[in-house]
Amino acid sequence: MYVTNRFKINGVMLLMVLLNCFPAVIKSQETEVIASDLIMNNQDSTLHVDSMNQSVNTYNPHDTTYFDIAMDSVVMAEIRQLHSKPVEQPKIVQPFKPNPTRAVLYSAVFPGLGQIYNRKYWKVPIVYGGFVGFTYAITWNNKNLQDCGEAYKDLSYDLINYKDEPENWHQSWQNFVAPGVNPEVRFNENFKTQLKRWRDLYRRNRDLSIIIAAGFYLICMADAYVDAQLFDFDISTDLSLRVEPVVSPATSFSQRLYGFNCSIKF
């Protein structure tokens, strides 16, 4: 009986001990979990702090290495942008130099155009004035030539066919009779010969005007060509006389000669 009661007491005590130890085990496990969480949190915070410290150390204002790298990247980006854009070459203004061949062609196509191309504008009125004068001379002489030729033919016809019929005489030759003079006075062979001389004179003057106008046309072309060739010719204002002694060697036909050589620079 005693033994049984003792066993019961021991069992009760063991149960109580177990019940008392179980919260301690749970608490110890909770403590271990909390401790492990704290350790992990501390490690994470440590890593975060280290990364922040590393970042701070990386961008240290006293260390210009990374600043220089950043500036180099910016400069390289600007250089790439500049190279991507087309580079405008500076325009070089060349001095004007007329082409002689082109000047001649312009002057041949239209008189005076070569002088305009050579920028010798003061010659243009001379060119046009000359051509206007020659045109007037050719036109005037040709008109008088036609009138005299018609008067000469009509007077010759009247002298043969209407010698005694003044009412049938042509007016063309009577226009060359001086005012107030009776046409019958001029109705003769002498006046016909005079009309022939006038006709030949006007023909000569007309042909001569045409020849001179053609020559003037060629002169304008030559002037345009010479102006273009000598456009940049340096005309110096230095007019100097240079005197040098000269010795001519003796030959089989002459003796040795001594003298002076004069040269003028202009």
Residue 249 resides in a domain: no
Do 215 and 142 share a structural domain?
yes
Q: What is the pLDDT of residues 145-184, one digit of tens each?
A: 999 999 999 999 988 888 888 888 889 898 888 888 888 8
Do 78 and 8 share a structural domain?
yes
Q: Is the pLDDT of residue 67 over 80?
A: no
Q: What is the spatial distance between Cα 234 and Cα 238, in angstroms, rounded to a whole number?
A: 11
Do 105 and 225 share a structural domain?
yes
Do 78 and 203 share a structural domain?
no
How much is the mean pLDDT over the chain?
75
What pLDDT does 55 receive? 45
Do 59 and 171 share a structural domain?
no
Identify the helix (H) or strand (E) that includes residue 243. Answer: strand 240-248
Do 229 and 104 share a structural domain?
yes
Its domain, for residue 153, covers 100-233
What's the pTM value of the predicted model, to 2 decimals?
0.55
Higher pLDDT, 238 or 6: 238
CB 115 within 8 A of CB 227: yes
Could you tell me if residue 92 is left (phi over 0), alpha (psi between -120 and 50 degrees) or otherwise beta? beta
Residue 247 resides in a domain: no
Residue 245 resides in a domain: no
Q: What is the chain's percent helix, strand, coil content, to nearest 5?
A: 70, 5, 25
Q: Is the pLDDT of residue 137 over 60?
A: yes
Q: What is the pLDDT of residues 33-56, one digit of tens each?
A: 444 444 444 444 444 444 444 444
Do 218 and 131 share a structural domain?
yes
Tokens of residue 132, six digits: 């206007």
Residue 15 resides in a domain: yes
Q: How many domains does the chain have?
A: 2
Do 133 and 37 share a structural domain?
no
Do 52 and 25 share a structural domain?
yes
Q: What is the spatial distance between Cα 151 and Cα 144, in angstroms, rounded to a whole number?
A: 10
What pLDDT does 226 receive? 92
Do 28 and 104 share a structural domain?
no
Residue 242 resides in a domain: no
